[in-house]
Structures are given as structure tokens and as C-alpha cells.
């Protein structure tokens, strides 16, 4: 199991040197503390995955972390050492704007929360509300800023767009409005980002149209003072919304008078406003991110900038590269050599601090940094040391230390796995050599013989090396031997229990993870993938075809532009494949992986685009010829959930398609939720079931069967329903349809062999229910040798039963094994994070209500409506998986064993044995006893043989 927190929203590093914690709040609605030495999670709290759990703000004070979540509805305080909840209060409704700590007379005592129409003040120690005040004119004024600096008053800034600012001053003691002023600001549209408070309550705003800064003291002045930017020799890029970044190191004292002004995506300048005077301290060109940090009396600014190729090493000359970088600036900050510098500058003067450069390289991932957090501390000699936390575009967290050492890094994108496949590991070098010998073409008897000799020699060499290593390892103490897995010694084990998990994450990063240890062996970031794209991962060639490398293909489709592209890679090493994928000009609707192969043993992938034309990949002549031959037996089905349309297409010889059937599900009444086909790699060993009277009930194993689930658009609990349709994907024939009244989704469905299990919420009885459908052909098989959907005169019999399940479900999947002999189990992920392994025999529609002689002979369990959750059926014990989103199963080399990966916020991998380990000797198998008995017997026969010989000889002598 590996635990993740997700993409960071807020982070806070403790300012002292000895601190070990890092408090983070993430977009996955998680509040967690990370160990800053190792990157491990110290504690973690997972809130609801829905927007209800979203964290709006996080504030840190001492040992307390204050979070505001659920759109400002809930205020919580966490103890940062152990992660306990100090207190929790619920706030009034109203859209949340901002929260801030408020101090009074050298003590931070309160938390102020600004809502759209009210401001409330809470005690920091127990969360009780001190006062709540309504804000005047809240209908047309947007209150967006909150400021206090320990003077006993809170300033609240509201804005009426393009008219004026409303500055309210509240007294901390009783919440009385002590002052209310209006400042005319007809040019201002919004406060967020554009305005900030610096120094002793001085508001600084940026206006884009007039290219000038506006300054106004909240406490004394009533007018905005305009300072044109030209007077500071500054200019900003066209069409860019400038931002102002200020810092307030301590809540009870004033903000720093210095602030950053972002002029363009890559240009920042440090400005100072002191005693009514605005001065320009320093320019930062080509800077990606800036951040402030404070320790003791010193406040520093950290600037993360791209190290330009032309000026390696000298980061002082940041200006110099500007002319050369002009063209690059347009591409919104791409750094050509992926090397970044972090430098510290003293804010008072803008001077660069010596020896504070961290240089790090992101060459491997090629992602841009997105967020920067700095932890500064004073060293013993009073110089400034720091550590930096950098989050990059691909949701990777890096913790850096001087000089450029990566202390740890976390791959937080794994908290959002979208697609997953398991690929066999390659054979070892020696085995591969042997395989390769057979793979090559024969060249004469002698040549073959010599080749065989050489490969045998290599085998011998490998074996002796292995023995030597074993001998060498045996002398070392057990604890020192570490079986490190890296990409070089990656090899398949005897039973193929270790596999490579290829994971696609929502951020567009691919991972190759070794399944037994969970080590990330390779990662690859696809830079041009936008968030919210849909992915489909397919294994085109497995490792079985040595010397051809295995090949995976990822189809990425952008949600907005609808354009898609293929990414072909080697799933073992993560390298991009040499094979050039076809350029896709039209948006791709669906794909189909055919079992036919080209001469390089790559399966053929068909892509159907929005003009219903088909592209083949790989598109060699051989493939096209094969396709032409079997084109009449290739069918597509497309499901359009928006229009409620299912349609089937037939492939024609010239790789166009024609529509062959169409099923319309009226969208006014119900909408299609899921469509489940069968897994293509599924084997079914038994073609039927033996009845009590020893006749056979044949299963209806239609490989083209689709299970379509619809939900009603009417969600009233009396009228809501779900519908299940079993549709043949070739002919469009509806084999079975049923409507479950008074049932509501979310529906989880598993479709395998000849059965479909789905789970829904029964609104009438208020419980979760399972329904199982099984399809049988009857006691006669129509055509035992070939299955064709076009030739099925008899509809299968459908058996159905329902069961009560005591818990909701977050994911469901069926186990799968190599040959399908092992009985099937359902793996059910519960919201508690446990995975329940439920035997399919418990969900058997042939379970009789009254057990008879015959049903007893069939080993059918008498029907009981409730399926119980037994804790001993949990396969993950206490290794819970929070917010499970899916379970993936893969067969292993052993028939009894099925590999399971559950993913959600965490990733968990295990093996399950649905029918126990029938093909493996038990752990307590007594090798010594059995072999000693065997040897003893052989020995005894030898002795008795000898004795008998002696006796015979003696008798002959007599």
C-alpha cells in the first residue's frame, strides 16, 4: 500500500530549523502532515470527496492548523503534532471569501472569517464565536479582503465594481463598526490578486488600463493616489492580468512594505512603498515563481527562475538574458534545459544573499514548477539557510535542500489514477538468449549446434554466478541482504506473480510500478495533456514475443478540442517506442484491439473517428490484407450517453463502416450511465453447470454481450428507477431488459462469464441491494463449436435473484485467473476502505428457497436474502484504501492466484486465492519427512536386496 495526499492547495512549513513537519491541505480534500526529512505521511485526514469536503483556506498558528471547508461552512482546528481535532464549529451559510488570523496586543487570539454578507470572529483556543456582524450594503458590494495588524481593529474591504471601494473598520472587542469610508475607484473590477495590503495598512492596487499603481492608506486617507508605472521604468505585457504579492510575516505586526508586482507570466519586480514613497528595488526576469519567507527579523524573497543556457552558473545576470529570451517569453515560460535556480534576496534592499542558490533539474519529467514554498532558518553564523518545497505541473512534490539536493520527492499524481494495465515482466537475459535462439532463422546444422552450445554455456555461466551470489549472500547477516529491484534486474519470477503496473494519472503522467514492492521504476510526463482529458490504455504486444519489445498504446483525447493522439511506449522501460503512430486528423470516438497480429506480433488497433472511418495501427500491408479478409466479422458499437443512442457499425473492406443497428434510450426519461462488455482476456473453463440429476445446464457465453445501465432522470424517491439492458453488440438484439422500480444509483456493475451483478440503492426499503442475472442456454447447446451472434435462434433463459447488502459500495470487480478454472469471487470495495472478497456462489440465482435433494447435490446454498460482511473476508486487513475509485484484477501464472490492485487516494496491491492455493504446496509441507521416508525406503530395499542375495548364496552353498 502506498498513501498519497493529492495535489497541494495550501502548504505551510514551520520556520524553525529543527522542525520536521509540513502541513498540507490538498485539492483532494485532505489535510495531512508530512515528515520533512523523509516525505512520509505523519498523519492524514480525508474529508468527503465531493465539493462538500473542499478546503477553502488553511491557516497555521503555532501548533494549530485552522481549516475552513465545505464552502465556508465548517471551521476546524487541528493539532499539528498528532493530527487530533482540537475543535470544530459550523458557520452560517454564505459564500466564503477569506479567513484570517487576528491578533490583539501581542497575542494571536481569534480567527476572522469573511463571508459574502457577514464577518465572524472566533476564539482560536476553542472555536467559540465571539461576535458576528452583518456587512452593510452586501447586495451590491463584494467584500473580498480582510486585514488586521494587531491594532485592535479589522479592516474589511468591499468593492462595488467600477464604482467605489467600501472600507469598514471593525473593533475586535465588540464587532462595532468604528469607521466606514468610501474610496472612489471607478477603474477597479475586483480586488483578488490586483490589490494587496502592504506596510501599515496601505492598500496597493494595480490598474491595467492606465498602467499605474494606486495607493491608499486604509487608516488615514480617503483618496487613492495614482502613481504611473512609467515613473518606475516598468512596463507590463499586453493582455496579462498583473498581480500583487505581499507578505505579512506576523499577524500582530504590520505587513512588510515590500511587495512583488507580476508584470508578465515570467517577469516580477520587487517594489517598496514606504512613507508615501514608492521605490523600485529589483527586477526579476524569467522568474517562474516567487515566494516570501520570514525568520526572526529577516524576511527574504525566494525567486525561482529558469537557468538560461547561455548564462550557465551566473544567476546574477538575470537581466542580461532578457533580450534573448523575449521570444521564449511568449510561450509562457518554457525552460529549454529544464534547469531551475532558486535564489534568495533580502527584501529590504533587494540584494541577493550569497550562497543561497539551489539548482535543480527537471529534465526527466519535463514539467514546469507550479508552486513554491520556502522554509527559512538562521544558521549558527547568522546567515540564512533554507529548504524549498516545489510542486510541479505533474503534481510532483520535491523537497530541496542547499545546494540543490533533493531530500525527497513524492508523486502525488498517483492519488488520481485513471487507467491501469498490468504487463508481464520480461524474461531474464539467459532465458531470453535461449528464446532468441529459436526465434532466429535456421542457418545450417553446424551453426545451430554451435549456437546451442554457446547459449548453454551462457546458461551455465549465469547459474554459477547465481550460485556464487547465493554463497556470498549467505555469509552476510540476513538483515543486510536487500532485494533491490531496479530496471536492470527486472525479470519474471517462476509463477509470473510480479508484474509491471502501468498507471495513467489524471495529470497526464505515466508510471511504471513494480507490483510486489511498489517501487516506481519509470515515469513519463506527457506535457501536452490538459487536465480532464480521457485516456484509454491498451497493451498491443506483451513480453511474450522476444526479441520484439512489448508495446503499449495510450489514446489521449482532449475534452475541449476533441482532438486525440496516440502515445506508443514500452511498458517495461517507459521509453517512447520507435514505431510512429498514425497522425489522427479527426477526433477518435472509440478503439478496438483485434486479436490478429502483424508480422511483428503487435495486435492490431482499430480507431474509429467521428466520420465513422476506421484507422488501423500498425497499418502495414500484411495487416491490411488480414483486415480485408476478416472485415465482415468486425463490428463496432458506440454509445452516446448524451443523445441516449446505442449504435452498431459493421466494418467494410475499404475500412469504412456502415451502421447496422441502433437502439434509442429516450433521454427525457432515462440516461445511460454505464456500458460494460466482457473482458477480452477472460477464459471460461466450464461450458455449463452440472445439475442434480446429472444433466448439463449450458451457459450462454456470448462474448459480444453488453450490459447497459440506465438511470431515471426523475430522482423523486417514489418514481426513480434503474434499467438494465443486455444487448448483443453485433446485432443490437436486446436479450434481456429489466426495470428496477424505486431504485437509485450509483450503480456498480460487474459483467463476466454468463452473469451480471449490479448493486443499487433501494429507495423504498432504504437499503443497498445486489441483483444477479445469469444466462443459460438450457440443457441443449445450439452450436457447440462456434459462437456467432448472427445465428442464435433461441433466446437464453435469464435467471435473476436479489440480495440485501448491508453497506454501500465504492468499487466492484470480479477476480480473473489464467484459465478460468478457479471459482470466481467478487471484490467489493467498501467506503470504509476495506476490500471484501465475496464468493460468487453466494450470489447465485439458482439458490433455492426450499432446499431439495437435487439442489443439495449441486451444493447450492439455500436462499437467504441478506449477504453478510464477514470481517475475515477482508483481503486487505487494516490496510484501508481511502476513497477507493476502482479495483483492477489480472491473472498470474498460477491458476489459483489473481492479482488485485485497488486504487483511489492510496494504491494497494495484493494476491487473492479464490479457491485456496490448490496448485501450490502448503507452507507447512514437510519436505524433510517425506524425502527422508523416501530415501529410507530406497535404502531399505537396497539392504534387503543385498541380504536376500547373501541368503540365496548361503542356501546354494548348503
123 vs 787 by CB, closer to other proteins = 787
Which of the stretches 27-35, 781-789, 865-873, 942-950 binds other proteins when contact is defined by CB under 8 A?
781-789
Q: Which is nearer to other proteins, 303 or 607 (CB)?
A: 607
For other proteins, which stretch binds (CB under 8 A), given 276-284, 742-750, 768-776, 782-790? 782-790
Q: Which of 483, 785, 859, 954 binds other proteins (CB under 8 A)?
A: 785
Name the residue nearer to other proteins (CB basis): 191 or 707: 707
User: Of 682, 9, 129, which Cα lies nearest the Cα of 391?
Assistant: 9
Site for other proteins contains 701 (CB under 8 A): yes
**66/74 Cα distance (integer angstroms):** 10
Counting contacts by CB under 8 A, is residue 63 touching other proteins? no
Query: Taking CA 481 as the corner, what is the angle to CA 478 and CA 486, rounded to the nearest 5 degrees?
Result: 155
Walk across the sheet containing 55-61 and list its strands: 55-61, 64-69, 74-79, 85-90
Is the Cβ of residue 636 or residue 805 nearer to other proteins in the bound state? 636
Q: Name which of 171, 300, 49 is nearest 833 in CA terms.
A: 49
Does position 656 interact with other proteins (CB under 8 A)? The reply is no
**Should residue 707 be labelled a site residue for other proteins when binding is judged by CB under 8 A?**
no
Q: How far is the CB of 797 from other proteins (least distance, A)?
A: 18
Q: Which span sits near other proteins by CB under 8 A: 2-10, 122-130, 420-428, 587-595?
A: 587-595
CB closer to other proteins out of 7 and 678: 678
Contact present, 901 and 884 (Cβ < 8 Å)? no
Q: Is 97 left (phi over 0), alpha (psi -120 to 50) or beta?
A: alpha
Q: Phi and psi for 624 in degrees, rounded to 5?
A: -65, -35
Task: Please list every residue from 476 through 535 that binds other proteins, using CB under 8 A.
Answer: 534
- 232 touches other proteins by CB under 8 A: no
Sign for the CA dihedral angle at 430, 434, 439, 445 comes to: positive
Residue positions counted in the chain: 958
**Cβ-Cβ contacts under 8 Å for 93 (sequence gap 6 or more):** 73
Give the nearest distance from C-beta 785 to other proteins in angstroms: 6
Q: Which of residues 661-700 bind other proteins (CB under 8 A)?
A: 672, 674-675, 677, 683-688, 690-691, 694-696
Dihedrals phi, psi of 310, to nearest 5 degrees: -80, -25
Q: In the range 884-903, which residues lie near other proteins by CB under 8 A?
A: none
Does 589 participate in binding other proteins (rule CB under 8 A)?
A: yes
Within residues 423-482, the interface with other proteins by CB under 8 A covers: none
Q: Could you give the dihedral angle defined by the CA atoms of residues 243, 248, 254 and 255, in that order, rounded to the nearest 10 degrees?
A: -30
- Contact segment (CB under 8 A) with other proteins among 12-20, 271-279, 631-639, 762-770 equals 631-639
Based on the shown chain and the rule CB under 8 A, indicate whether residue 608 belongs to the binding site for other proteins: yes
Based on CB atoms, which residue is closest to other proteins, 219 or 919?
Answer: 919
Q: Is 322 buried (19+), middle (13-18) or exposed (0-12) by CB count in 10 A? A: middle
Task: Give whichever of 187 and 782 is closer to other proteins, judged by the CB atom.
Answer: 782
Nearer to other proteins, 214 or 636 (CB): 636
CB of 577 to other proteins, least distance (A): 22
User: Using the rule CB under 8 A, is 536 a contact of other proteins?
Assistant: yes
* From 373, 636, 661, 721, residue interacting with other proteins (rule: CB under 8 A): 636
- Least Cβ distance, residue 600 to other proteins (angstroms): 20
The four Cα atoms 909, 912, 918, 921 give a dihedral, to 10 degrees, of: 40
Q: Residue 834 CB, nearest distance to other proteins (Å)?
A: 29
Binding residues with other proteins: total (CB under 8 A): 53
| DSSP secondary structure letter of residue 382 | S
Degrees to nearest 5, angle at CA 517 with 496 and 884: 100
Q: Select 241 or 687, whichever has its Cβ closest to other proteins.
A: 687
Distance in angstroms (rounded) separating the CA atoms of residues 705 and 732: 9
Q: Nearest approach, Cβ of 334 to other proteins (angstroms)? A: 28
Q: Which residues pair with 705 in a beta bridge?
A: 728
Burial class (CB in 10 A: 0-12, 13-18, 19+), 705: buried
The correct pick among 461, 517, 528, 633 for binding other proteins (CB under 8 A) is 633
Are 728 and 744 spatial neighbours (Cβ–Cβ below 8 Å)?
no
**Judged by CB, which is closer to other proteins: 574, or 745?**
745
CB-based burial, 654-665: b 16+ in 10 Å, e otherwise: ebebeeebebeb
Q: How far apart are the first and last CA of the chain?
A: 80
557 binds other proteins (CB under 8 A): yes
Residues 787-826 contacting other proteins, CB under 8 A = 787-790
Contact residues toward other proteins (CB under 8 A) are 534, 536, 555, 557, 564, 588-595, 606, 608, 630, 633-641, 672, 674-675, 677, 683-688, 690-691, 694-696, 701, 703-704, 729-730, 783-790
Amino acid at each position: 500500500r502506498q498513501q498519497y495526499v493529492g495535489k497541494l492547495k495550501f502548504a505551510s512549513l514551520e520556520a524553525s530549523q529543527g522542525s520536521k513537519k509540513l502541513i498540507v491541505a490538498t485539492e483532494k480534500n485532505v489535510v495531512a502532515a508530512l515528515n520533512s526529512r523523509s516525505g512520509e505521511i505523519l498523519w492524514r485526514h480525508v474529508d468527503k470527496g465531493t465539493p462538500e469536503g473542499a478546503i477553502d483556506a488553511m491557516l497555521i498558528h503555532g501548533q494549530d492548523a485552522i481549516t475552513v471547508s465545505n464552502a465556508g461552512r465548517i471551521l476546524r482546528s487541528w493539532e499539528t503534532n498528532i493530527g487530533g481535532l482540537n475543535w470544530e464549529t459550523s458557520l452560517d451559510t454564505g459564500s466564503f471569501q477569506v479567513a484570517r488570523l487576528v491578533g490583539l496586543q501581542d497575542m494571536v487570539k481569534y480567527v476572522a472569517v469573511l463571508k459574502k454578507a457577514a464577518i465572524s470572529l472566533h476564539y482560536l483556543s476553542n472555536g467559540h464565536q465571539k461576535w458576528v456582524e452583518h456587512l452593510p450594503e452586501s447586495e451590491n458590494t463584494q467584500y473580498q479582503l480582510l486585514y488586521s495588524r494587531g491594532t485592535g481593529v479589522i479592516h474589511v474591504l468591499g468593492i462595488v465594481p467600477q464604482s467605489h471601494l467600501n472600507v469598514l473598520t471593525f473593533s475586535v472587542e465588540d464587532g462595532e463598526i468604528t469607521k466606514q469610508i468610501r474610496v472612489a475607484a471607478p477603474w477597479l473590477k475586483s480586488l483578488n490578486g490586483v490589490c494587496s495590503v502592504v506596510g501599515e495598512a496601505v492598500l496597493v492596487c494595480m490598474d491595467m488600463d492606465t498602467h499605474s499603481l494606486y495607493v491608499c492608506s486604509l487608516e488615514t486617507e480617503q483618496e487613492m493616489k495614482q502613481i504611473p508605472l512609467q515613473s518606475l521604468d516598468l512596463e507590463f505585457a499586453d493582455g496579462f492580468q498583473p498581480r500583487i504579492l505581499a507578505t505579512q510575516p506576523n499577524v500582530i505586526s504590520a505587513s512588510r512594505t515590500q511587495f512583488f508586482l507580476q508584470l508578465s507570466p515570467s517577469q516580477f519586480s520587487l517594489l517598496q512603498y514606504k512613507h508615501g514613497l514608492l521605490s523600485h528595488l529589483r527586477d526579476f526576469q524569467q522568474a517562474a515563481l516567487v515566494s516570501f519567507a520570514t525568520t526572526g527579523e529577516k524576511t527574504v524573497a525566494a525567486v525561482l527562475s529558469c537557468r538560461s543556457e547561455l548564462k550557465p552558473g551566473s544567476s546574477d545576470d538575470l537581466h542580461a538574458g532578457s533580450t534573448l529570451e523575449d521570444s521564449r517569453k511568449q510561450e509562457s515560460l518554457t525552460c529549454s534545459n529544464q534547469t531551475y535556480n532558486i535564489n534568495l534576496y533580502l527584501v529590504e534592499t533587494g540584494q541577493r544573499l550569497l550562497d543561497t542558490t539551489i539548482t535543480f533539474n527537471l529534465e526527466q519529467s519535463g514539467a514546469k514548477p507550479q508552486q513554491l514554498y520556502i522554509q527559512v532558518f538562521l544558521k549558527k553564523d547568522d546567515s540564512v539557510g533554507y529548504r524549498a518545497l516545489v510542486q510541479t505541473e505533474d503534481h510532483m512534490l520535491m523537497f530541496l535542500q542547499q545546494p540543490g539536493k533533493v531530500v525527497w520527492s513524492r508523486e502525488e499524481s498517483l492519488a488520481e489514477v485513471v487507467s491501469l494495465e498490468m504487463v508481464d515482466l520480461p524474461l531474464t537475459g539467459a532465458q531470453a538468449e535461449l528464446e532468441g535462439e529459436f526465434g532466429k532463422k535456421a542457418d545450417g546444422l553446424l551453426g545451430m549446434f554451435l549456437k546451442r552450445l554457446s547459449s548453454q554455456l551462457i546458461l551455465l555461466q549465469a547459474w554459477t554466478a547465481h550460485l556464487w551470489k547465493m554463497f556470498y549472500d549467505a555469509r552476510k547477516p540476513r538483515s543486510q541482504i536487500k532485494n533491490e529491484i531496479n530496471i536492470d534486474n527486472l525479470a519474471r519470477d517462476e509463477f509470473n506473480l510480479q508484474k509491471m503496473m502501468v498507471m495513467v494519472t489524471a495529470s497526464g503522467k505515466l508510471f511504471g510500478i513494480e507490483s510486489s514492492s511498489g517501487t516506481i521504476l519509470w515515469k513519463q510526463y506527457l506535457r501536452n495533456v490538459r487536465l480532464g482529458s480521457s485516456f484509454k490504455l491498451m497493451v498491443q504486444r506483451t513480453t511474450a514475443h522476444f526479441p520484439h519489445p512489448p508495446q503499449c498504446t495510450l489514446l489521449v483525447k482532449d475534452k475541449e478540442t476533441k482532438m486525440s493522439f496516440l502515445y506508443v511506449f514500452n511498458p517495461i522501460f517507459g521509453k517512447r517506442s520507435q514505431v510512429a503512430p498514425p497522425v489522427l486528423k479527426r477526433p477518435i470516438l472509440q478503439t478496438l484491439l483485434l486479436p490478429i497480429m502483424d508480422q511483428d506480433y503487435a495486435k492490431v488497433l482499430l480507431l474509429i473517428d467521428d466520420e465513422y472511418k476506421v484507422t488501423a495501427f500498425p497499418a502495414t500491408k500484411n495487416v491490411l490484407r488480414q483486415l480485408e479478409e476478416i472485415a465482415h466479422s468486425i463490428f463496432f458499437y458506440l454509445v452516446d450517453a448524451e443523445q441516449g443512442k446505442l449504435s452498431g457499425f459493421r466494418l467494410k473492406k475499404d475500412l469504412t463502416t456502415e451502421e447496422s443497428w441502433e437502439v434509442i434510450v429516450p433521454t427525457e426519461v432515462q440516461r445511460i450511465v454505464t456500458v460494460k462488455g466482457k473482458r477480452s482476456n477472460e477464459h471460461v473453463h466450464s461450458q455449463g453447470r452440472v445439475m442434480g440429476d446429472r444433466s448439463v445446464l449450458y451457459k450462454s457465453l456470448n462474448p459480444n454481450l453488453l450490459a447497459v445501465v440506465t438511470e431515471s432522470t426523475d430522482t423523486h424517491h417514489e418514481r426513480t428507477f434503474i434499467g438494465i439492458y443486455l444487448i448483443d453488440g453485433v446485432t443490437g438484439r436486446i436479450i434481456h431488459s429489466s426495470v428496477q422500480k424505486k431504485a437509485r444509483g450509483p450503480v456498480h456493475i460487474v459483467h463476466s462469464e454468463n452473469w451480471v451483478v449490479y448493486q443499487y440503492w433501494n429507495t423504498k426499503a432504504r437499503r443497498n441491494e445486489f441483483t444477479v442475472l445469469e444466462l443459460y442456454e438450457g440443457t441443449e447447446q445450439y452450436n457447440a463449436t462456434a459462437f456467432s451472434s448472427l445465428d442464435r435462434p433461441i433466446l437464453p433463459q435469464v435467471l435473476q435473484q436479489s440480495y440485501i447488502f448491508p453497506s454501500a459500495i465504492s468499487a466492484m470487480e470480479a477476480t480473473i485467473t489464467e484459465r478460468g478454472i478457479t471459482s470466481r469471487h467478487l471484490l467489493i470495495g467498501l467506503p470504509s476502505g476495506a476490500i471484501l472478497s465475496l464468493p460468487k456462489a453466494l450470489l447465485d440465482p439458482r439458490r433455492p428457497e426450499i432446499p431439495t435433494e437435487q439442489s443439495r447435490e449441486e451444493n447450492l446454498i439455500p436462499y437467504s436474502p441478506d449477504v453478510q460482511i464477514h470481517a475475515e473476508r477482508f483481503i486487505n486487513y487494516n490496510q484501508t484504501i481511502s476513497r477507493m475509485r476502482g479495483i483492477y484484477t489480472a491473472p498470474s501464472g498460477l491458476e489459483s492466484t489473481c492479482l488485485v490492485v485497488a486504487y483511489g487516494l492510496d494504491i494497494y496491491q495484493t494476491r487473492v486465492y479464490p479457491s485456496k492455493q490448490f496448485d501450490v504446496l502448503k507452507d507447512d509441507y514437510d519436505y524433510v519427512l517425506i524425502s527422508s521416508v523416501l530415501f529410507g525406503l530406497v535404502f531399505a530395499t537396497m539392504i534387503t536386496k543385498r541380504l536376500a542375495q547373501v541368503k540365496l548364496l548361503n542356501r546354494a552353498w548348503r
